[in-house]
Amino acid sequence: MLTKRIIPCLDIKNGRTVKGVNFLDLIDAGNPVELAQKYSEQGADELAFLDITATLENRKTLQALVREIATTINIPFTVGGGIASINDVEALLKNGADKIAINSSAITNRKLVGELSREFGNQCIVVAIDAKLENKQWRVYRSGGKIPTELFLLDWAKEVEQNGAGELLFTSMNHDGTKNGFANEMLAQLSETVNIPIIASGGAGKMEDFIDAFHFGKADAALAASVFHFGTIQIPELKKVLQNNNIPIRQ
Per the residue annotation, which of 45, 51, 88, 130 is the catalytic one?
130
With a cut of 90, say whether residue 141 has pLDDT above it.
yes
Reference 151, options 143, 160, 139, 142; nearest CA is 139
Query: How far is the first Cα of the chain from the last one, in angstroms, to the nearest whole number?
Result: 15
Average pLDDT over residues 212-231: 95
- Ordered DSSP codes for 176-198: TTT-S---HHHHHHHHHH-SS-E
| pLDDT higher than 90, residue 240 | yes
Choice among 11, 45, 88, 212 that is catalytic? 11
pLDDT tens per residue, range 44-74: 999 999 886 665 566 566 888 899 999 999 9
What is the predicted pLDDT for the residue at 204?
A: 95
- The residue ranges of DSSP E strands in 99-213, in sequence order, are 99-102, 125-134, 137-142, 147-152, 167-172, 198-201
Average pLDDT score over the chain: 91
Respond yes or no: is residue 130 known to be catalytic: yes
For this structure, is 11 an active site residue? yes
Predicted local distance difference test score (pLDDT) of residue 11: 84
Is residue 25 predicted with pLDDT exceeding 80? no
Tens digits of residue pLDDT in 155-175: 999 999 999 999 999 999 999
